[in-house]
Amino acid sequence: MSYNSYGHLLRVITWGESHGPALGCVVDGCPPGIALTPEDIQVWLDRRRPGTSKFVTQRAEPDQVRILSGVFEDARTGGPVTTGTPISLMIENVDQRSKDYSDIAQSFRPGHADYAYFAKYGVRDYRGGGRSSARETASRVAAGAVARKILGSDVVIRAALVQVGAIAVDRSRWDWAETRNNPFWCPDPGTVGLWEEHLGEVRKAGSSVGAIVEVEAVGVPAGWGAPIYAKLDSELASALMSINAAKGVEIGAGFASAALSGEQNADEMRIGGNGQVEFLSNNAGGVLGGISTGQAVTARVAFKPTSSILTPRQSIDEAGKEIEVRTTGRHDPCVALRAAPVVEAMTACVLADAFLMHRAQTGGGAFAPGGRGRS
Amino acid sequence: MSYNSYGHLLRVITWGESHGPALGCVVDGCPPGIALTPEDIQVWLDRRRPGTSKFVTQRAEPDQVRILSGVFEDARTGGPVTTGTPISLMIENVDQRSKDYSDIAQSFRPGHADYAYFAKYGVRDYRGGGRSSARETASRVAAGAVARKILGSDVVIRAALVQVGAIAVDRSRWDWAETRNNPFWCPDPGTVGLWEEHLGEVRKAGSSVGAIVEVEAVGVPAGWGAPIYAKLDSELASALMSINAAKGVEIGAGFASAALSGEQNADEMRIGGNGQVEFLSNNAGGVLGGISTGQAVTARVAFKPTSSILTPRQSIDEAGKEIEVRTTGRHDPCVALRAAPVVEAMTACVLADAFLMHRAQTGGGAFAPGGRGRS
Amino acid sequence: MSYNSYGHLLRVITWGESHGPALGCVVDGCPPGIALTPEDIQVWLDRRRPGTSKFVTQRAEPDQVRILSGVFEDARTGGPVTTGTPISLMIENVDQRSKDYSDIAQSFRPGHADYAYFAKYGVRDYRGGGRSSARETASRVAAGAVARKILGSDVVIRAALVQVGAIAVDRSRWDWAETRNNPFWCPDPGTVGLWEEHLGEVRKAGSSVGAIVEVEAVGVPAGWGAPIYAKLDSELASALMSINAAKGVEIGAGFASAALSGEQNADEMRIGGNGQVEFLSNNAGGVLGGISTGQAVTARVAFKPTSSILTPRQSIDEAGKEIEVRTTGRHDPCVALRAAPVVEAMTACVLADAFLMHRAQTGGGAFAPGGRGRS
Amino acid sequence: MSYNSYGHLLRVITWGESHGPALGCVVDGCPPGIALTPEDIQVWLDRRRPGTSKFVTQRAEPDQVRILSGVFEDARTGGPVTTGTPISLMIENVDQRSKDYSDIAQSFRPGHADYAYFAKYGVRDYRGGGRSSARETASRVAAGAVARKILGSDVVIRAALVQVGAIAVDRSRWDWAETRNNPFWCPDPGTVGLWEEHLGEVRKAGSSVGAIVEVEAVGVPAGWGAPIYAKLDSELASALMSINAAKGVEIGAGFASAALSGEQNADEMRIGGNGQVEFLSNNAGGVLGGISTGQAVTARVAFKPTSSILTPRQSIDEAGKEIEVRTTGRHDPCVALRAAPVVEAMTACVLADAFLMHRAQTGGGAFAPGGRGRS
């Protein structure tokens, strides 16, 4: 219900502005007894951190997370585990440069949330984008780390950048391991150089460019999600579209489904060698009727170009005067370069929530063909 | 929270199966004093009704709606108005043919929700798809009619089919009025014949095809939505992706944003002749930072092909046996042919809910540049 | 969130007015595979039914419930079971006398919701109290019947009337079986005659009187509820206070706790003969820190007198004129005489919801002292 | 939905344990443009603070609140105002004595939440009660301060202690101003000495005692609340019963209603000298049919005695062994002595939420008799 939270049973509320003293989130509804250390969270924050390549903002933020509540020593292991009470996570803002913001304090930057916030609230924290800054996504990544611990190691969630500007990866060369070998989360080593060159030009021109991120979750059992309005794909669409700069979400074959025939689209089923249900294709992206099928859950998210560009653009200000706006300062030429860990985190949160919802209604597990009952 | 409801303040819960005695919805949170007759709802249901062309299911359902609660005579006008209490709407199922379902009762039809429901629940109403039938969308359309009354005539919501299979409309010939002149909701008269021919072939072959629906809401004032997780675009994505067979949702320029430069993407702003804020383009689809800007809110939804096809497909049954499935009976060759009114209805519900949420937090209205305060 | 629904995971929305065509509810979130027939619900509705004694309204309503969705034949047993989809329940209003309501259409009856509805909505269905009629509680009882099926037979929920006017039962004579032997749900046969006499006088005088209902739930395992704001006692307080005419709710020793010493109040614990935790008293009412302890969950609800009385009372009308109001027609002299089944139903709904919430977060079961882990 | 949050539109989530590094809350949904400084919050926290008299815990906590987000300088006044984004409030724990907790780490203290937490979660932060500590209520008071700012000065919320043990105040001597003149929030100066003496004895005996707090909200306009399950009294019951140690809640005449006649109970209405609706009594406690009437909203909350007492009590430990427990350390002999500001805060939160909900559905204001329409 709340404007700044998401999830039904695993409920995350985030707070904080780009240039306030800190930002963070509270994760409520986490099951008890799950081992959780700050390092479990830090590892994911480090992947999203600014300043990791010349193509992302050079703001120097260590993004060090603190766990303020919800974790206590386990009587058996002595190590910290979740207690079932709210987990409060805080990241202090360190590099809020005491820059002079007077030039943009009254201006609406085209493509930014400036005007919309003004129209709605009449007041806004204009420093670094305030609440609408991509810094808010650090809280999402922190929450996602908790969600991953809930899901456990059987569910593997991984994202890759599959298109920058008009340049898409060659899917025949896809190698998930490569996403760790370049600053772009690119799964195709053959495309890395092309992006590097393109982004270099974009950056030099003070321009920006959009991109597409793809995510998959392997190991999701059949039965998660719900048929009508809490559909797993509907929940994913909501969560992924809520990421800054996202403009589109598709599941499985997505928009390409429109041009498929019914024969091409309907993923056929067989019983595999291990006696398990096996699908011969995955146009559905692992979701049928809103419920997971046991296949990999797959989605893609389109991100618009960073709105902050050096080229002057026509705009207006709070006084209603026509002006020109040109955004200087620290900016990513492609905001989506740091979006992959955020997409992963939101996917993890949606899935952990779906797991809890499924366990609530059914007790968990899935019915398997062959009359073997609930697993 | 609930699995079968949507909306925060305008809350809709739907119920009913394809072959049960009836289906319907309860609309809760509607403001009081709004004139509402069954005809106000019926007009929209009639647009979604089966049997209106040879390209949609020939099931003969009058889809006559009854208002069971929440409406009472207004002391001033004597006409029926909403009372602020829940509006219960019911549509009786008339043409549930007493067909023999034994052939599919134990089978999982590829592309259908059959297997997912079985895995989750262990029991399912297999008659006509049960709860996962497109008949459920009649409830959405009924709720959408109420939402339109809340929004009033200043907000105009209209959808069109823009692609069937691989054949897209020619946007240079776009004419909204044309969507009422053909059974396809096609805004381009030049494309109607192509679709007719294509769909005829698809139908004859017992196959099916996907499609894309586009929707716009004109007249949405600036300020609706919320910045982070109740973003207007996030809410739209959730609502639209929850429609049966939807596989993708995009806002404004959507997936095409990825290939835009920052200069192309950022919609420039001017003060129009009337002293109002004016945007020079609408790549944002009327939403910035999750909040409406006053431009038309635009979205597109991709639908997969109908899963029910005559061609036999490989599958399995509940016993875990490998089988072939071939779906006979009444089916739309393109489920999206009747999706436009559903897309409109879901958009209306999301917007009416956003209107109420905005009024709750801010009192309503928007701040306008020039220091004229809240409108 | 919704104004007319309750519950988190077992979510009930009710609709309907006293003199509309029907009333009912939708129960969402019910686990699948639970045997459910109309009779399972009817048995509880029959207990709440009007016209069962001369001390309750003589309105002739069969209160026949129909299950419109959410139930289907089980493949194994052939009997109807819940499918996990929304269960729509409808009760048609039969005896809405075509009375002339013009005398109260514009008047505010003291103690009634008339004025409050008018102030809020500006329009109200004044026939028989409209939405605020006690008829709405039929929907609660129907939903409660579903909740009982979810809880199963291990949890026994039973309510009794313990005070009518100033006359309380003698607890030393308490016998639950007696509650079925008199029209008052009185557990003490020695008090029945006193109430009968008192209520006879009250009725003859055209007056009314308040009462107190007590409920207990035996068999609730330890661990249900949540520590802070979804406390089991907080949820019960909310649900019970939402019943028409309720003015107070207490758990365990309740208001009497104020006068207890810490020694008296703290329920001591031992290990019982069966190796189970045993409490030596139950001032807590089965709830500590918001979580059930395994003891009987106990609560009491105070009901105000029926507001409809024959004695003229000073009031005003919609025109702002001072008037006298005297309520004729069919009314219970003590609204609480039919409240026991409603209190039971609301308790059942809260507990079933708590069960699902607990299963979601923890997988279900409880940790038992002695290192035997989760049961 | 979340286990640790409350409110629909004004949504508060609290986090933190008694002996963790900090505790706090996030207040989401606050309207923009409301002046808010740390001092606005601190003044209420100071009233709840431990160590203010010899009858409350001597733990030395400054309870200094920090506003971490959601507030920014107003362009017009330069002063800090709410921005409509989440307000994160943090209070650091300072005096978490590094006491040895090994004696209670494995024990269940009778009357405490120890056993219930263990049964539910299998792990608990036993230091100072962990999450179930009364320290959590500091977060509620902080949130309540924000709620008061939303309500504005027209709504006055004030609580008093009306009974300690068996000693009730003499209502004929009631003077709200007196509640500030003694450490008990006692409105009757004649009772202060009696309580002082009684509490002195209780403290000396290492015992404890319960109490009753009464709250009233003056200035609540007619129309807030909702008819069925979001009733204003139901919401109050939920919020007040969620306070630590609360065992009962009543509205208006409450449990005494049971013994009233219909004539006594129904608050008669007149038109006052100012042309406004005037009630001749307030048994309803300002709420009819779940909706405020414009009268003072009144409620009472019963608190059980502090469970921590010096007298040894029979109990068990985690190993399932029977033990004796005797609680030493810093404890309030009457937990309710500090409950009044918490009761006020929860009432403020419920009312601010009801205000926003009412504004959402109706636009705000109320219809007044006399055809003057919505105010």
User: Is the confidence at residue C362, as pLDDT, over 70?
Assistant: yes
Using alpha carbons, list the distances in angstroms from residue C110 to B307, D217, D266, D367: 60, 21, 5, 17
- Which residue in chain A has the smallest CA separation from C11? A361
Shortest Cα–Cα distance, D206 to chain B (Å)? 46
Q: In DSSP terms, which residues pair with C287 in a beta bridge?
A: C292
Q: Which of D81, D85, D131 sits opposite A85 (nearest CB)?
A: D131
Nearest to D137 by CA among D55, D31, D48: D48
Q: Which of A9, A15, A84 sits opposite D86 (nearest CB)?
A: A15
Three-state DSSP at A22 gives: strand
Dihedral (Cα; A149, A150, A156, A161), 10-degree rounding: -80
Q: What are phi and psi of D134, to 5 degrees?
A: -65, -10
Cβ-contact A53, A183 below 8 angstroms? yes
What would the pLDDT profile of D156-171 be if each residue is shown by its tens digit? Answer: 999 999 999 999 999 9
User: Is the confidence at residue C55, as pLDDT, over 50?
Assistant: yes
DSSP β-ladder status, A246-251 and A313-316: unpaired
**B163 near A CB under 8 A:** yes
What would the pLDDT profile of A287-319 be if each residue is shown by its tens digit? Answer: 999 999 999 999 999 999 998 899 899 999 999
Contacts of B360 in chain D (CB under 8 A): 9, 29, 356-357, 359-360
Cβ-contact A261, A199 below 8 angstroms? no
* H or E element at residue B66: strand B65-67
Chains that touch A (3 or more CB pairs under 8 A): B, C, D
What would the pLDDT profile of C176-202 be if each residue is shown by its tens digit? Answer: 999 999 999 999 999 999 999 999 999
**A270 near B CB under 8 A:** yes
Shortest Cα–Cα distance, D125 to chain A (Å)? 6
Which residue do the tokens 């932060």 mark? D125
Q: Which of D226, D302, D319 sits opposite C3 (nearest CB)?
A: D226
**A263 near B CB under 8 A:** yes
Angle (deg, nearest 10), helices B340-362 and A114-121: 60
B127 CB neighbour count, 10 Å cutoff: 19
**What per-residue string of b and e applies to A133-156 under the rule 16 or more CB within 10 Å gives b?**
bbbbbbbbbbbbbbbbbbbeeebe
CB contact under 8 A, D121 and A84: yes
* pLDDT number for residue B55: 79
Q: Which of C164, C257, C371 sits opposite D319 (nearest CB)?
A: C371
Count of residues in chain C: 375
What would the pLDDT profile of D57-82 be if each residue is shown by its tens digit? Answer: 767 788 999 999 999 999 878 899 99
- Which residue in chain C has the smallest CA separation from B127? C72
CB contact under 8 A, A68 and D8: no
User: Is the confidence at residue A1, as pLDDT, over 50?
Assistant: no
Distance CA C9, CA D283 (A): 35
Top residue of C8, C19, C26, C65 to mutate, by most chain B CBs within 10 Å, is: C26
> What distance lies between CA D246 and its chain's CA centroid?
10
Tell me chain C's radius of gyration from C-alpha atoms: 22
Q: Which stretches of chain D score pLDDT less than 70?
A: 1-2, 51, 58, 97-100, 329-330, 372
Shortest Cα–Cα distance, B74 to chain C (Å)? 7
Distant-in-sequence, close-in-space partners of A17: CB < 8 Å, separation ≥ 6: A23, A125, A127, A128, A130, A131, A133, A135, D69, D72, D85
User: Is the confidence at residue A77, as pLDDT, over 70?
Assistant: yes
A contact residues 80-109, partner C, Cβ 8 Å cutoff: 84-85
Distance CA A221, CA A368 (A): 11
Count of alpha carbons within 13 Å of A212, Cβ hemisphere only?
Answer: 21
Backbone dihedral region for residue A294 (phi beyond 0: left; psi -120 to 50: alpha; all else: beta): left
**D32 near A CB under 8 A:** yes
**C194 near D CB under 8 A:** no
* pLDDT number for residue D374: 75
Distance CA C353, CA D183 (A): 41
Q: Supply D353's token pair.
A: 């939420």
Which residue do the tokens 């703001």 mark? A59
- More confident: B273 or C13: C13
Sign of CA dihedral C223, C225, C231, C234: negative
Distance CA C287, CA C285 (A): 6
Number of B:D CB contacts under 8 A? Answer: 46
Mean pLDDT of A142-169: 98
Q: Kindly state the percentage of chain A with pLDDT values over 90.
A: 83
What would the pLDDT profile of B365-374 be if each residue is shown by its tens digit? Answer: 999 998 767 7
Q: Residue ranges of the alpha helices (H) in D89-186?
A: 102-105, 114-121, 137-151
CB contact under 8 A, A14 and D70: no
* pLDDT number for residue B156: 98
Distant-in-sequence, close-in-space partners of A193: CB < 8 Å, separation ≥ 6: none
Q: Supply B70's token pair.
A: 């929440």
User: Is the confidence at residue B56, as pLDDT, over 80?
Assistant: no
ipTM of the complex: 0.96
Distance CA C314, CA D280 (A): 9
Q: Which of A22, A74, A125 sits opposite D83 (nearest CB)?
A: A125
Q: Supply A227's token pair.
A: 């048929």
Split at pLDDT 50, 70, 90, the class of A270 is very high
Cβ-contact A227, B117 below 8 angstroms? yes
What would the pLDDT profile of B167-189 be if each residue is shown by its tens digit? Answer: 999 999 999 999 999 999 999 99
Q: Supply A19's token pair.
A: 């240039």
* H or E element at residue C298: strand C297-303
- Which residue in chain B has the smallest CA separation from A230? B3
* H or E element at residue C156: strand C156-164
Shortest Cα–Cα distance, B210 to chain A (Å)? 4
Distant-in-sequence, close-in-space partners of C207: CB < 8 Å, separation ≥ 6: C305, C309, C310, C311, C333, D261, D262, D263
Count of alpha carbons within 13 Å of C16, Cβ hemisphere only?
Answer: 25
What would the pLDDT profile of D289-344 be if each residue is shown by its tens digit? Answer: 999 999 999 999 999 999 889 989 999 999 999 999 987 766 788 999 999 999 99
Distant-in-sequence, close-in-space partners of D76: CB < 8 Å, separation ≥ 6: none
User: Is the confidence at residue B1, as pLDDT, over 50?
Assistant: no
**B360 near C CB under 8 A:** no
Three-state DSSP at C16 gives: strand
Q: Supply A191's token pair.
A: 């495309």
Split at pLDDT 50, 70, 90, the class of A249 is very high
Distant-in-sequence, close-in-space partners of B119: CB < 8 Å, separation ≥ 6: A222, A223, A291, A293, A294, A366, A367, A368
